[in-house]
A and B are shown apart, each in its own frame.
Chain A
């Protein structure tokens, strides 16, 4: 009787978790699972575009998620319910140029469309865009800035 009750409880526990869970996909190049629902909370795991997470709770604008062995929080703007292609598919090396192009074109506007566009427009200053994107703004500097200016930590 005792064993049966234990088994029943385990089954119910499993069902409860399954019923409330949803799979969400990371839609940013890279992001982090945080220890609690704050932008500057300690990082429990790093995730990348296309990674699938199991969301099983919400806390404000954050989802409580499971990714591998890690459980933590990710902001809702960093994930979507749909499945997205992994970036690995973009770097797939086809045996011919046309195959490679086709693989990328299937994703609409993507790195290869940009590459073709760059070839046609060498005057476009993409190297400056790269430098703007690479400009480092460490989290700790943002936190210090917020605190020193009497602003609210998000």
Chain B
């Protein structure tokens, strides 16, 4: 009888251990991690071989270059507000964590634009913020930029020839065998990469498909946050009206706004009912911060 109890106890112990191994998809951890890594690896190869850490350092230099062209805002209230909206959005994105985290800053210019430096630093211009009419619309703008970071669009702007060169330098040689000349070549590639990204962000813009994809990613993120995804559409409509008269900025670097509106029109995710009190609370804090 005693033996039976011991055997039963052992079975229970084994089963409970196996269950604790996976609370959702029993036994699939290898498969899950494997699949996640395969996707990540494929993305990495498509964009070129660069680690999250390297992306962070490239992004810091791109951010420094942007701050050489625009003045950083000192509006403390607005900076805090944009950071809170930004953090909320980033946590609900496809990539809540980057090597150095997400950071949000405002550029003191009337130009209507926003830039996502690789790795997670997002700049939004005062002109862009003033074009939004609600917190949900501001969140839509930020969600679009976060999507560019999650998809590593900035890094994909680096010319492929640079990666060929970088591979030659980094290659298979052990790190300790690099010469100062090779280090100097890496710095040259670093500078070239920064210029490629800066030119794409500020002058040429991303491809139409990258912009559409960032808009679609933003819709999903907004819905996950509890923001109204239709805010992206309403913002783009207002942008289109403003853009006709202003030109430059985002109108120069992004595909036709009417095309972007059409692209997302049939892709609105369900976000559920937003309580009127929540709408009021958001509008009150938006009005308080965006003066």
Contact = CB atoms under 8 A, between A and B. Distances in A.
Interface of A: 1-2, 5-6, 8-9, 12-13, 16-17, 20-22, 24, 27-29, 31, 39, 49, 55-60, 63-64, 75-78, 80-82, 84, 97-99, 101-114, 116-117, 120-121, 123-126, 128-129, 131-133, 135, 137, 141-142, 145-146, 148-152, 154
Contacts of B17: 13, 16-17
A5 B3 contact: yes
B6 A5 contact: yes
A149 B282 contact: yes
A146 B53 contact: no
Contact of A124 (B68, B105, B184): B68
A106 B95 contact: no
A103 B88 contact: no
Contacts, number: 248
Given A20-B21, A116-B183, A124-B68, A81 B33 contact: yes
Contacts of B277: 150
B259 interface: no
Nearest to B187: A116
22 contacts: A5-B10, A9-B13, A16-B14, A20-B22, A29-B100, A29-B101, A39-B91, A56-B22, A58-B32, A107-B175, A108-B54, A112-B183, A113-B57, A114-B57, A114-B61, A121-B191, A128-B72, A129-B121, A135-B79, A135-B105, A141-B84, A150-B274
Interface string B1-35: 01100110111011001101111110111101110
A58 B10 CA distance: 25
Interface in B160-176: 166, 169-170, 174-176
Interface stretch (B208-216, B221-229, B243-251, B260-268): B221-229
A149 B278 contact: yes
Residues of B contacting A: mostly: helix
A127 to B, nearest CB: 9
Given A105-B183, A109-B186, 13 more contacts: A9-B14, A58-B22, A81-B34, A103-B175, A106-B174, A107-B53, A110-B57, A117-B61, A124-B68, A129-B64, A150-B226, A150-B278, A154-B225
